[in-house]
Amino acid sequence: MQQNFREAIEDPIFETIAQAAKALQIDCYVIGGFVRDYVLQRGLPKDIDIVAIGSGIELAKQVALLLPNKPQVSIFKNFGTAMLKHNGIELEFVGARKESYHRDSRKPIVENGTLEDDQNRRDFTINALAISLNEANFGALIDPFNGRADLEKKIIRTPLEPAITYSDDPLRMMRAIRFATQLEFEIALTSLQAITDNKERIKIISKERIVDELHKILASKKPSIGFALLHKTKLLPYILPELVALQGIEEIEGQRHKDNFWHTLEVVDNIAMTTDNLWLRWSALLHDIGKAPTKKFHKKIGWTFHGHEFIGSKMVYKLFKRLRMPLNDKMKFVQKMVLMSSRPIVIAEDFTTDSAVRRLVFDAGDHVDDLMTLCEADITTKNAKKQKKYKNNFKLVRQKIKEVEERDHIRNFQPPVSGEEIMRTFNLKPSKEIGIIKDAIKEAILEGEIANEYEEARAFMIKKGLALGLSQDNV
């Protein structure tokens, strides 16, 4: 059955591409994500893939010639592809190809092929839909694998034998799970089985590609779908063994702890409802990883995870390094969130002093709101009464943070008395006393002994200096 998809290609750029192909006397088609997302009404595309039955590079050059602004064409000779930007959208051109694979590489042997060959090499039926840009059937949908029906049934299925598809290019296992998460589709049972059977082949995929897919899973509306599938297919131990170690419930003498893997997935889904910050979502995913290595059972108090925040933040570094993720301020942010993840809970349980709040704001700095967002997402109790109580407690903590902040300005703390002033006052050369005094001033402010302002801090500095046996020259 051929259906007309003329409406999908109303943008004048498709007419231009069609003219360029006609001039070169080759056929071409829009294929892949653009067609899929048009059917799903997923909004404007970021990129459009064009497949030419012939040279994709020549077609791209011809299209650029026909466009009034003559955009630059980026050519990737090794891949036989070319790209140009038009109205902020990337147009990718590729020649139709037939692929065959070697067992130890995801790089195929490539030959020129027909449209059918090219559709055969696509990962999923929903990604193999093509729309003709040729005069004879402009706008016709070419859908040899019933991708259209799969879009309606919300199912991810491979055009060819799944075992071969996933073994040829194991990245497709990640892509299947990522699409299942982004689109909230089911993966066909035969596919799920083939992924499970081929899980070990994920080893030949570069960490960068894997992390790309993890980012996309985490950025989805309900990331738990992806992590549950990674778990179910047993891919997770190859990617994030730290999470696998959280799975399971142990019971000793009738005392059980919660399953921290499934708890974590709930936390990630919760935080996805309140923030798009990818690194805060990573923080939610990793916030409890220190619980596996710190778990202990004590006869009197039951299960404990002492110091799991500290151990967890150390594990973040190793995990980022192993996955070749950036070891930069993003990683430090995740470490900080993991390290501080229990701090607001302690405050929520005991409101007696402002100093704990001041210390929290001092340590979290600009990230204090993110930390509160993480803690709120961490509430996964099914007990409605407790749920309400915990939420309310954090509301109070947020309120308290606001009050303390308005009064004491602890966020981005700047010492009210400078090191230079301390040196001048006591006629000191750079020495450890200066650090001691500065630290004492900071501590006095956080403890609430003095206000965070110059006069009180200066008086405190003099008192402290004298106590240290220093003499004042300029007071």
Positions touching ligand ATP (CB under 6 A) are: 32-33, 47, 49, 121-123, 127-128, 169, 171-172, 175
171 binds, among ligand ATP, Mg ion, none (CB under 5 to 8 A by kind): ligand ATP
Give residues in contact with Mg ion (CB under 5 A): 33, 47
Surface-to-core class of residue 413, CB atoms within 10 Å of its CB (0-12 exposed, 13-18 middle, 19+ buried): middle
Q: Which residue is nearest to Mg ion (CB)?
A: 33
Which lies closer to ligand ATP via its Cβ, residue 27 or residue 123?
A: 123
393 binds, among ligand ATP, Mg ion, none (CB under 5 to 8 A by kind): none
309 binds, among ligand ATP, Mg ion, none (CB under 5 to 8 A by kind): none
- The nearest distance, CB 248 to ligand ATP, in angstroms, is 33
257 binds, among Mg ion, ligand ATP, none (CB under 5 to 8 A by kind): none
Which lies closer to ligand ATP via its Cβ, residue 121 or residue 336?
A: 121
Beta partners for residue 207, in sequence order: none
251's enclosing H/E stretch is strand 251-252
Q: Which residue is nearest to ligand ATP (CB)?
A: 33
Distance CA 307, CA 294 (A): 7
- The nearest distance, CB 4 to Mg ion, in angstroms, is 23
Q: Are 348 and 393 in contact (CB under 8 A)?
A: yes
Q: Is 94 helix (H, G, I), strand (E, B) or coil?
A: strand
Distance CA 428, CA 420 (A): 9
- The nearest distance, CB 227 to ligand ATP, in angstroms, is 19
**Contacts of residue 449, Cβ cutoff 8 Å, sequence gap at least 6:** 460
- The nearest distance, CB 145 to ligand ATP, in angstroms, is 11
- The nearest distance, CB 328 to ligand ATP, in angstroms, is 25
* Terminal alpha carbon distance of the chain: 93
169 binds, among ligand ATP, Mg ion, none (CB under 5 to 8 A by kind): ligand ATP
* Phi, psi values for residue 89, rounded to 5°: -110, 140
Which lies closer to ligand ATP via its Cβ, residue 147 or residue 416?
A: 147
157 binds, among Mg ion, ligand ATP, none (CB under 5 to 8 A by kind): none
- The nearest distance, CB 172 to ligand ATP, in angstroms, is 5
- The nearest distance, CB 47 to ligand ATP, in angstroms, is 6
* Lookup result for tokens 């803690």: 375
**Contacts of residue 169, Cβ cutoff 8 Å, sequence gap at least 6:** 101, 106, 108, 123
Q: Dihedral angle at the C-alpha atoms of 166, 171, 175, 176, nearest 10 degrees?
A: 20
Which lies closer to ligand ATP via its Cβ, residue 110 or residue 451?
A: 110
Distance CA 417, CA 441 (A): 8
